[in-house]
Every structure is written in structure tokens, then in C-alpha cells.
A and B are shown apart, each in its own frame.
Chain A
Amino acid sequence: MSFIQILVANLPPLLEGMGMTLLLTLAATLLSWVVGLATLATQLSDSPFIRIPGRLYISLMRGTPALIQLFVIFFTLPLIGLGGLPMLAAILALGLNSAAYVAEILRANTRVVGIGQIEAARAIGLSPFRTWTRIRLPQLLRASLPALINEFTILLKTTPLASVVAVTELTYAGQLVIARTFESTTILLATAAGYLLIALPILLLAQRLGLSAFKQAGGRA
């Protein structure tokens, strides 16, 4: 069979896997923003009892492979009665991992909102909460957008790890097709193309909009 024929014959499971990859990426991204913001809050606290645990969390998450974090979460969940949920383990692992990076990205940009603005907000009687939601956060997020887009694509590149706990995302879906058809070249190229199909438009759009954060940080195991 030709390349195209093999591809067409096995397209449905691959597309399903791609959907799963997207779902995993989006769910983990959402989690990473929520936990990332909470972690940022710990870092801005005056109390060392809040700041140091937050720092430790960031350091641990950035200092160990995501693959191990996934395994640790995967083997911990059954202990709290949530066994047999690989997708949950994957979302938690990828999301909690990415959260540490999101917190660092945001922290690096907190200075974009000058002290003058915060004082002005207080002077006109805005509560600290409103100062955050109306003044600081919008500017902070805008300044962090390139790095956050970059982090999103890195998270996408981390999702194949979920295949080791048998989540049928794109990479694992491809492996299952290969196990059945032995067409490793075609299917692996299709798998690779699937990731490019998701990531390239985002990267190119970011470049076009001047939001490219082509800096450091590779993938993450």
C-alpha cells in the first residue's frame, strides 16, 4: 500500500488521538494558569511561611523530569481512592508541572506595573482585590503573553508522556496503529505531522503578531 492509502485507512484512530492530545493540552493549560496564579500569589507574600513553600514547589517542579512527576501522581492517586484514571493523572501532572513555569513567567513580569499605578489605585479607593483584577493582572498577562504562548506549545510537546500511562493521545494512538499494521514509518510521520499541525499555526501566528517568545527552554521530560 502507498503512504496515502495507509494513512487514510488508519486516519480515524489518529484523529481521535489528536483530539485527546488537544483536550489534554487545554485541560492542563487551564490547570496551570489557576495553580500558576496561586503560586505567584505565594511568591508575592510578605510571610516566609507562605513564600518558602511556594518557592520549594517551583524548584521541585522545575528541577525534576515531568515523566517522574507523572509516575508519582499516577501511583499516588489510588492511595486517595482515585485509581484507574490515567487521564486525570496526566492532566494533573502536566498542569502542575507547567504551573511552576507559569508562576515564574508571571513573576518575572510583575514589575511592568509600576508602584505608582498601585499607589494611584489605592488613592482612588480601589480594594487590593480590585487593584489586582482591574489594574495589575490585565497588564501582567499582556506582558507575559509571548512567554505564555511559548509555554502552551511546550506543554503540547510534553503530552506524549501521557502515553506511558496508556492515555490514548496522538503518540499512543499511533503506537497502537503500528502494533496492528507494522507501518511504523508512515504512522510515525503522520504522528509528527499531527503535532506540527497543532503547534505551527500557533507559533507562526505568534510570530506574525510579534508575540514570539523564541527564547530558551526546550521540551520537558
Chain B
Amino acid sequence: MIDLDLIVSVLPVLAAGLFKTVWLSLLGAILALGGGILIATGIERGPHWLRRTLSAWTLVTLSLPLLVLLYLLFFVLPEYGLTLSPTTVGVAGLGLYYAPYVSQLLLGALSAITPGQFEACRAMGMAPWRYMPRLIVPQMLPLLLPSMTGLMIGLIKDSALLSIIAVHEFMHAAKAAISQTYAPLEIYLIVALAYWLLTSLIDSLMRRLERRMTRHST
């Protein structure tokens, strides 16, 4: 039987790792959202070459494993004089990888808005930066929320990969805890449980938010 005191002794290390994972995932998600908005705008409004480039990158992220992208950023960039810290590579990798997915969701939600609304806004002389946040985005949000939640949960789970390039997040903390306790199975089960609680919590919160948002719509 496993020594319970030993497990308790590594809990602070694990908690710090979990905190780091939440933090890194949040940064990655913000980056992916910003990138996704840029990519969606580029695909909708950009010149032909930009559209082609962004579509190609989208296709690449659909077929390239995240781990390979992380390795590319981590090992190839330094050869061209750009040495980044593992954490920077990790967050940038998550952002780059998830941005096209975000853009596809945004474009999908945008296509659900009837064109007449855009025409009406323009006819009244409103600029995009005025009618988008006031009229279009509020309508897109309920459509986006479930799929964005799925993406966010995917990103949190994918952030576990950052441990492979030595980013000090939850999985990395788990490995440190294992080297102290020699109890891999117990530690991994605790870590899995924590990930599960975290993703379940986000899932249920977002569901509640979605219900609030769609309360008045039919």
C-alpha cells in the first residue's frame, strides 16, 4: 500500500503545477483567440494571397501533430538565431496551433448571421468597429460558446504536451513528484483526477452561461 504521507508531501508541488497549467492555458487561449480573429478577418477581407496562405496554414494545423510543431519551434528557431524559453515556445505553439480552429468557428458563426443585418448597418452609416461589438458579436456568442468551450478544454489537455519540452506545468510537476515518491500510478491518477475536475468545472460553468445567454431567445 502506498504511503499516504508521501503523497501528501508532494501535493504543494502538484498544486503549483496545476496553477501554472491554468495560467499557461489561459495565455494560449488568449493568443489563439486574437490569432483566430486575425485569421478570420484575413480570410474574409484579405487579398487573394493572404487568403491562400491562411487556408494553407489551417490545413497544416489539421494534419500536423502539436508535438511536432512544438519541436519545430523549440529546436529549429534557435538555428536561425531565435532562442526562446520553453514557456514562450509552449504558449506560442498553443496559440499558433489553435488560432486556425478558432477562426473556423468564428467564420461558421458569422455565416449564421443573415447578410441583411450587415447591409442594414452599413446603410445606416455604421462602421464595422461599431456594429460588430454591438450587433453581430452578441448574436454570435451563443452559437460560439459550446464549440469554443470544447476547444478550450482541448487546449488545456494539449498543454500537458508542454511538459515534453520541459515547461514547468502540471505534468512536469507530476514527473517531479514521481521522482520523489516512486509512485507513478498514484501520482498520475491524482493528476488525471485534477484535470478531470478542472475540465468538468469549465464545462458546467459554460453550460450555465449558455443557458443564461439563450434564456430570452426562442
Contact = CB atoms under 8 A, between A and B. Distances in A.
A195 B65 contact: yes
Given A161-B67, A220-B158, A184 B75 contact: yes
Interface string B175-195: 000000000110011011001
A191 B59 CA distance: 17
Contacts of B108: 215
A203 B68 contact: no
B71 interface: yes
B218 interface: no
Contact of B62 (A63, A65, A161, A203): A203
A163 B66 CA distance: 13
B192 A158 contact: no
B37 interface: no
B67 A203 contact: no
A218 B158 contact: yes
B171 interface: yes
Contacts of A68: 160, 171, 174, 188, 191-192, 195
Contacts of A153: 62-63
Contact of A64 (B97, B163, B196): B196
A221 B147 contact: no
Given A65-B160, A72-B188, A75-B188, A188 B75 contact: yes
Q: 5 smallest A-B Cβ distances: which pairs?
A: A199-B63, A65-B160, A221-B158, A160-B67, A63-B199
21 contacts: A65-B157, A68-B160, A153-B62, A156-B65, A160-B68, A161-B67, A164-B164, A184-B75, A188-B71, A189-B76, A191-B68, A192-B69, A199-B62, A214-B62, A215-B108, A217-B150, A218-B66, A218-B154, A219-B65, A219-B97, A221-B158
